[in-house]
């Protein structure tokens, strides 16, 4: 599902879609440790985390992560935004915590799979 379609359905704010407005994420993985995120990262994975850091963006760049969702209204800094735009990584922000955000995302993705 395109990040731009998923965000409003899950109650997320789109901060940047990078260079590609059609960036897609079909699976969700949540974690609060870089090592866990690194293990799960891939080209179809939406990473959900409370880590807004330069290390996160380097990992996303190396592993072609299409989208990252920050929780608890985390605000990405200018460096994170610039890197996301350069590498076409969507940045979304949720007002909810990690578990609530994951629940919303999973519901949206399951609805997409099952169709109308």
**What's the CATH number where 89 sits?**
3.40.1390.20
Domain span holding position 70 = 3-114
Burial class of 116 by CB neighbour count within 10 A (0 to 12, 13 to 18, 19+):
exposed
Each residue of 41-54: pLDDT tens digit?
Answer: 878 888 999 988 87
What are the residue ranges in the chain where pLDDT is below 70?
Answer: 18-21, 23, 112-116
Number of separate domains in the chain: 1
Closest CA to 76 of 45, 51, 97: 51
Q: Are 18 and 85 spatial neighbours (Cβ–Cβ below 8 Å)? A: yes
**What per-residue confidence (pLDDT) applies to 115?**
58
Calpha distance 45→56 (Å, rounded): 14
pTM assigned to the model: 0.87
**What per-residue confidence (pLDDT) applies to 101?**
96
């Amino acid at each position: 599902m395109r990040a731009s379609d998923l965000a409003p359905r899950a109650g997320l704010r789109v901060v940047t879609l990078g260079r590609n407005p059609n960036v897609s994420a079909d699976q969700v993985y949540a974690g609060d440790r870089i090592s866990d995120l690194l293990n799960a990262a891939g080209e179809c994975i939406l990473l959900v985390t409370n880590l807004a850091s330069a290390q996160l963006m380097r990992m996303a760049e190396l592993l072609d992560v299409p989208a990252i969702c920050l929780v608890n209204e985390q605000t990405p800094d200018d460096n994170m935004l610039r890197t996301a735009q350069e590498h076409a990584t969507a940045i979304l922000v949720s007002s909810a915590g990690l578990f609530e955000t994951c629940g919303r995302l999973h519901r949206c993705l399951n609805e997409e799979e099952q169709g109308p």
